[in-house]
Amino acid sequence: MPRTRRRAAAALLAATALLALTACGTSGGSGSGNGSTARSTVEVRIPDPGNSGVLALGKKDGSLDRALAAVGAKVRWTGSAGPFAPAAQAMNAGQLDIATGSITSGITSLAQRPGFKFFTAVAPDAAGEGILVRNGSGITSVKDLVGKRVAVNQGGTGEYLLLKALARAKIPADRVERVYLRPDQTAAVFNAGQVDAWAVWATYAVAEIGSGKAHFVADGAAIGSDNYSLNAVRTGFAERHPEIVKALYRYLHEASAEEKRNPAAYLNVFTDVGPTAVTGKAKEVQTGFTRQGGTVDPIGPEDIERFRAVAAFYAEQKVTKGRIDVTPHLLDIEKPA
């Protein structure tokens, strides 16, 4: 069994946040072996992490700035977090250097001539992702989804979770209607009863479960999910600034371990009121998911095998045109620079 890992909190509530690094300064180098005596500063552009998670606390207390300063870098907070697919496109275009996403959305993005590699892994979220249904819906098992409409994000975590749940229950995929929606547009549709279920992860599930009006009919453990959370780095940046990528990994690893031990400290970092605050039952749900989750770790051999299983499953389900080879797009973050 693979060692436990923590799903980055930015994937839950933002912890699933995009990060971006870009070099700046007057000399072309940043201390990565170019022989220059002057070391320029590398700006780390990080989209705003929101109100919760490792990056939110790192922004507030300056700990991420301090970690990056040790390798000649600094943070510039900009933009906002978003899905991995557009972030991957931005990395391919040289507009971002680091982004966070799932292996499922990562595989579909790898089919588009990628210019990035994955360098960390957080084990699948057995508790915080799954097939969400409204209380009283009459849906008590995955088999009850036959003939129903299920909201999913196309080619990403939602579609994977639904297809994996159906395969495990031996239900042909065409017996359930997939309704393709953006996750940030799905809650209203789900609560209005326009879809019967929602294949979703913790970022969006926490509020629904916390409301007391919905629950998972099958969670990640029941589904047998291999849906890792990953951090990706633009290939060119990794080649030029390996020491910064390693410093970022160390920060995320240590902070995610602390968050797992004390999840409440990473919630409502800037405010405990308003739409970004997690309160009441939702706060209990979130802290419970976090305690059961994993940490940000290097990608090991056992993880790679599970990545390959997802790629094979996507090809079998015709989500991708063929089996995507993930291996060439992985970095060993523990390898000496």
Residues linked to residue 19 through DSSP beta bridges, in sequence order: 98
Give the pTM.
Answer: 0.85
Pick from 228, 200, 201, 212: nearest CA to 122: 228
- DSSP H or E segment with residue 140: none
What tokens appear for 185 in the block? 């547009």
Residue 133 DSSP SS3: strand
The tens-digit pLDDT sequence of the chain (337 residues) is: 444 443 433 343 333 333 333 333 323 333 344 433 346 889 877 777 889 999 899 999 999 999 999 999 988 787 666 788 888 888 898 888 878 889 999 999 998 889 999 999 999 999 999 999 999 999 999 999 999 999 999 999 999 999 999 999 999 999 999 999 999 999 999 999 999 999 999 999 999 999 999 999 999 999 999 999 999 998 998 999 999 999 999 999 999 999 999 999 999 999 999 989 999 999 999 999 999 999 999 999 999 999 999 999 999 999 999 999 999 999 999 988 6
Residue 69 DSSP SS3: helix
User: In terms of DSSP bridges, do strands 229-234 and 214-219 run parallel, antiparallel, or are they unpaired?
Assistant: unpaired
Residues linked to residue 74 through DSSP beta bridges, in sequence order: 43
| Contact between residue 293 and residue 225 where contact means Cβ atoms under 8 Å apart | no
